[in-house]
Structure 1
Amino acid sequence: MGHLGSGQRTRRPKWVSHLALTRLTHSVHSRTRRVGDVSRKQTTPRRQQLGRALRELREGAGMTIEAAAPRFYWSSSKLGRIEQGYQRVDVHGVRSMLDLYDIGGTRWTEVTELALRAQEPGWWRAYGLDDRGYVPLEADATLVRDYTIGYVPGLLQTAAYTRALSLSYPKHLNEQDLALSVQIRNIRQRRLIDQQNPLELAAIVDEGVLHRPVGGPEVMRDQLRRIVESAALDRVTFQVLPTAVGARPGLSSVFTLLSFEAIGFPDMVYVEHPMGAVQMAQEDSVERATIFFDRLRSLALSPADSVALVHRAAEQM
């Protein structure tokens, strides 16, 4: 698998189980649906950020899509897709738009730089992933708030735990695909200690996760030790929701909130379900998920008490 580091593109598996996508890479690729635009086309936060900027500039120039598109020899639908972030546009196209909208100075430079960044291929493409699903979202995020009820969050998993999750399902990954998933997970985890491209994690897990011997006692003990080690990192906050709490939000579903402070993009919610996952960007959905997460955090044990519980679970495993 050493050739992957060279940037060579790896063929995407023809079939990947829901477990592999959500638990191992935390991505469901083509099965991910965006609520609000109801589109299955590929996009990234950076392309959406560029599209939003271009739309605002067009509207500021007092032009409709129908009036602007023919000036670039484009259809109205193409310009609409560019502004939504669902169609790529090169720097030359962006500069033509800036000229038409009479944009100059620092704003011209800022949008041109946005276009250049939006064109950069994501590292995940070398591992066979496209721009849909969870991984590209997390790659641009600066804060991940994760609530899980059945498994350890991917950013905290050991390789052995990941492997055990995959092998627990009838249609699990083959060895090559599993190795790819582990490498993807390792790249994601490095951001928790990366000074240049940092990622902050706030994770809440159900207490049952600590006592479920995924992979057997030895694998689970190592996994619990990894949680303790990770919880000591400045960018990780780990809390356990005790079984004694009883009824609370999120009993039937897991969800992840992503924040994109570095690129000035609005928060998003990623919700898993048995058939895939849904991305939600509407303000009311994000607000509701934020309230849910804050409520769960208030019901959970403190970070110190949570780590103490993890220690006890490891000793009893």
Structure 2
Amino acid sequence: MDRPKPNARKRLLANKLRRLREDAGLTQVEAGEPMRFNKNKMSRIELGHLPDYNGFLALLDRYGVIVSDYDDWVRQYDRAWEKGWWHAYGLNDQGYIALEADADEVREYQLGFVPGLLQTEAGMRAAFADARDPLSGRRLENEIAVRLRRQARLTEDPPLEYHAIIDESVLRRPDLLPDDQCAQLEQIIKRAELPNVTVQVVPINHGIHSGRNGSFIILSYPRLREPDIAYIEHGFGSLQFEKAKDVHTARLAFRHLADLAYDEPDSIRLIRQVITET
């Protein structure tokens, strides 16, 4: 059975350990020999499957880190093992929430729904009620709490950089009661006023275009020095793409859609027009 993929904080620390080893001029076999860590174990460590605390300190010593510098490394080690806030809601590190929580930038194209980071609570409830597995009771309230917590990153310091491209048809679907629909559209406008948020709308009159193939998200991690990830959610689950070729294709698709879409001022004018028509 495949091991669960480590979270981004573990992978970041693992990359730093690898660079320490390389700076020390050691192979994986040479580095692990005093601790009886074979090459396979060293390879797993450098992929993010960190050793126990004593093993971690032994690696630092092996790589020539002086004891007075241990405190910073230990803080990084402790943080890598911390459970994310989403664990309190019964979620683990393997879903989208953990990917987004570590990201510095999110680019999202949405063909079917108002993006979760821009939804009002009424919009969330409608979306969850209409899901393939409709939510209710405690599960519904947990999902709403998680989504609201995700939205808080748009205004926290440092704020999440967020660029949403929305198909015009999303704005015109009568998914909510008229007053709730207007509130939802006003929420999008309000979020677009944030300096870290960009909202664009692809007008219906563009006809057939590559975005009609479906929604997707690109997550970027410059602070962690991790490669971008492309993410697609579909009716039967989700797909995560990390190969450079696949992510490059997603980036090209997003740039193409950004060129097709109205710029942000014109997009906001269109949203206001839809509000007057609602």
Cα deviation for residue 84 of structure 1 reads 1.2
- Which residue in the other structure is 1:225 paired with? 186
From the superposition, tell whether residues 79 and 147 of structure 1 become closer, same or farther in structure 2 (CA, over 3 Å): same
Give ranges in structure 1 of 5+ residues lacking alignment: 1-37
- Which residue in the other structure is 2:135 paired with? 173
- Local SS of the residue matching 1:41: coil
> 149, 168, 185: which one pairs with 1:187?
149
- Local SS of the residue matching 1:270: strand
- Local SS of the residue matching 2:151: helix
| Aligned 8 A contact 2:13 2:76 in 1 | yes
The letter for the 1-side match of 2:189 is V
Question: Deviation digits for residues 217-266 of structure 1, max 9, x if unmatched?
Answer: 33222211111111111111000011111232332122111122233322
Aligned length in residues: 278
For structure 1, which segment, 63-72 or 204-213, has the greater mean C-alpha deviation from structure 2 after superposition? 63-72
Q: Percent identity?
A: 37
1:156 aligns with 2:118: yes
Q: TM-score, normalised by structure 1?
A: 0.80
- Which residue in the other structure is 2:227 paired with? 266
- Local SS of the residue matching 2:212: coil
From the superposition, tell whether residues 154 and 169 of structure 1 become closer, same or farther in structure 2 (CA, over 3 Å): closer
Cα deviation for residue 111 of structure 1 reads 4.3
- Which residue in the other structure is 1:299 paired with? 260
> 82, 96, 108: which one pairs with 1:134?
96
In the alignment, the residues of structure 1 paired with residue 60 and residue 149 of structure 2 have an alpha-carbon distance, to the nearest angstrom, of 36
- Local SS of the residue matching 2:150: helix
1:199 aligns with 2:143: no
- Local SS of the residue matching 2:210: coil
In the alignment, the residues of structure 2 paired with residue 42 and residue 172 of structure 1 have an alpha-carbon distance, to the nearest angstrom, of 29
The letter for the 1-side match of 2:237 is G
| Aligned 8 A contact 1:165 1:215 in 2 | no
In the alignment, the residues of structure 1 paired with residue 102 and residue 209 of structure 2 have an alpha-carbon distance, to the nearest angstrom, of 31
Give ranges in structure 2 of 5+ residues lacking alignment: none
Q: CA RMSD in A?
A: 2.4
| Aligned 8 A contact 2:50 2:56 in 1 | no
In the alignment, the residues of structure 2 paired with residue 39 and residue 279 of structure 1 have an alpha-carbon distance, to the nearest angstrom, of 16
- Which residue in the other structure is 1:51 paired with? 14
Q: TM-score, normalised by structure 2?
A: 0.90
The letter for the 1-side match of 2:62 is L
